[in-house]
Amino acid sequence: MPLTLSTAEPGFETAFAALLTMKREDAPDVDAAVAAIIADVRARGDVAVIELTAKLDRLELTPGTLAFSATEIDAACAAVSPEDRAALELAAARIRAYHERQMPEDARWTDESGAELGWRWGPVSAAGLYVPGGLASYPSSVLMNAIPAKVAGVERLVIACPTPGGAVNPLVLLAARLAGVDTVYRIGGAQAIAALAYGTDSIAPVDKITGPGNAYVAAAKRRVFGKVGIDMIAGPSEILVIADGTADPDWIALDLLSQAEHDESAQAILVTDDADMASKVTAAVSARLEALERRAIAGPSWRDYGAVIVTRDLPEAAALSNRVAPEHLELCVADPEALLPKITHAGAIFLGHWTPEAIGDYVGGPNHVLPTARSARFSSGLSVMDFLKRTTIAKMTPAALEAIGPSAERLANSESLEAHGLSVRARLDRLNRKEGA
């Protein structure tokens, strides 16, 4: 049974605080192993990547077969059913349309001193996307990572997707083609992250790496950060549903299980102001679990990390949700728009009874790569901004430098940075000489 709490009961705050600090990931200490893998790839390049792929993925490669050929991708795309292709194309179109609206604008203006200021946006030159591999890989993740990069204008876009034993999901390759990916490498793990970050003879380095992975991939992303940019270190999936008495208990149960089935460490939380709803949803989850295909995963997730919390009212529910800062938040209430302004921390918000989180995973449009483990308090989901850089622009006229330069010189001298001050003073002296002539 999940943890059941009520804000009206003594000891709630202690129990809720324990829920917030619950460790859900029993990740092995892999940092030393990852450090060795990265060092090996940096030293031996393709040879190290090929040896590690043979050892860990049971796949023999050569420098010439590290990447899928165009013919192989054509064959995989042809194997996709028309129905699956249509669904993937719909998802790609909606994700692209949503992310196109995120593109920021350049700006230039002249301030009161006469200085011209502004900024411009430009994409990173190359990005590498990590996609967990095998037949269980997710084509939706390819779209969610690759399309924002292409919308941002990234010139070179590559994917690293392990194919253990040679197994590949044709939908992943079709998604890569639909998203405009240039190259798909059939490698994974820390060795793939190292190759993308530092490059090998056959794999050119990238500027940014995004995408989820196992503990080895996460540790590798941490280690290469600084050499390249990364999106985030993703933890187990999570959902919080705020529901009132107007919700359908079975729908809520399915929404909770939609995240619980991802991983035994995933977390599903119901927060409701209706005690009867809490009981009905709990019963509905139990009933659905009996027939769920992934019950061996969803069951332990719900049992070990699930929670049902009864509050006095919906504002209190919103306040608790803000403390959780969930990856996914559903507002399954009669008036979600009224509750929305009270939400300050959430990766993605789904409004109303007809907006299940699962729509967001595939065809909603917003990105499904979202902050986990309460990091929505300070970070956002993947967007075109992750593949853009803002460069500031400044242009001084002689009059503008005359107006503000003396203050720059004074501040430079206060910091004992003589050359800073002199670089301004030299120009001011030139202006003074001209005025005195």
Catalytic machinery residues: 327-328
Alpha-helical (H) ranges within 235-379 are 249-260, 275-289, 295-305, 314-324, 336-339, 357-362
Residue 114 buriedness (CB in 10 A; 0-12 / 13-18 / 19+): middle
Look up residue 389 and give its two tokens: 């850089």
Cα separation of 149 and 312, whole Å? 44
The answer to whether 3-25+235-364 and 31-105+124-233 have equal CATH topology is yes
Confidence of residue 134 (pLDDT cuts 50, 70, 90): low
pLDDT in tens, 151-182: 999 999 999 999 999 999 999 999 999 999 99
Mean predicted lDDT score pLDDT of the chain: 96
DSSP characters over 393-433: EEE--HHHHHHHHHHHHHHHHHTT-HHHHHHHHHHHHHHHH
pTM for this predicted structure:
0.94
pLDDT in tens, 220-234: 999 999 999 999 988
Amino acid 136: pLDDT: 64
CATH topology of domain 31-105+124-233: Rossmann fold (3.40.50)
pLDDT in tens, 277-309: 999 999 999 999 999 999 999 999 999 999 999
Domain boundaries 3-25+235-364, corresponding CATH code? 3.40.50.1980
Amino acid 27: pLDDT: 63
Cα separation of 290 and 307, whole Å? 19
Cα separation of 345 and 335, whole Å? 19
**What residues does each domain of the chain span?**
3-25+235-364, 31-105+124-233, 396-436
Residue 370 pLDDT more than 80?
yes
Largest Cα separation within the chain, whole Å, is 93
Separation in Å, CA 54 to CA 60, 61, 162, 163: 5, 7, 11, 11
pLDDT in tens, 33-88: 999 999 999 999 999 999 999 999 999 999 999 999 999 999 999 999 999 999 99
> If you average pLDDT over residues 9-25, what whole number do you get?
91
Amino acid 26: pLDDT: 61
Residue pair 233/149 in contact (Cβ under 8 Å)? The answer is: no
Question: Residues 219, 47, 222, CA angle at the centre, nearest 5°?
Answer: 10
Measure the N-to-C terminal CA separation of the chain; round to a whole number of Å: 89
* Collapsed DSSP state (helix, strand, coil) of residue 383: coil
